[in-house]
Amino acid sequence: MTDENKKIKGVLIDVKNGVAKPCEIDNKLDEFYKVLDCQLIDIVNRNIEGKPFTIICDDEGLLKERPIVSAVDKEDKPMLVGNLFICSAENCGSELVSLTEEESGHILKHLAMASLPQDGGVHLYPILIDMDY
């Protein structure tokens, strides 16, 4: 899955801290656990407004006490939960590939803000929209 000496550019959607941004991380399993704040990852392929991407997500996200929806389809039905790291689908199934600037821009254009009640206030966070299989 990973090349231990390589970095990978992607978009991190951090629903817990309320940010979405392009970022570059070490292409190591431990780094994915860290940025996704999880203990078991899954790698899925999904389209965002018709363009394919590879998404690394928390495989146990739905088992958490209060899962936070991080991606929805065109009808606002939940597709993924928890933090996401999105990279290119260029080599779908073989190795993870960095996003181009154009791909990052496409992802960032398909974000909206969602809210959840939290401790007497509101937690705002980015959510990926227009996703499909």
Give the dihedral sign, CA 112/123/24/64: negative
Beta strand 111-118 pairing with 84-88:
unpaired
DSSP 50-100: TEEEEEEEETTGGGSSS--EEEE-TT--EEEES-EEEEE-TTTTT--BPPP
Tokens (6 digits) for 10: 């992607």
pTM, two decimal places: 0.92
Judged against a pLDDT cut of 60, whether residue 4 lies above it is answered with no
Mind listing the pLDDT tens digit for each residue in 86-131? 999 987 667 899 999 999 999 999 999 999 998 889 999 999 999 9
Q: Do the Cβ atoms of 60 and 67 come closer than 8 Å?
A: no
CA-based nearest residue to 86, from 31, 132, 21: 21
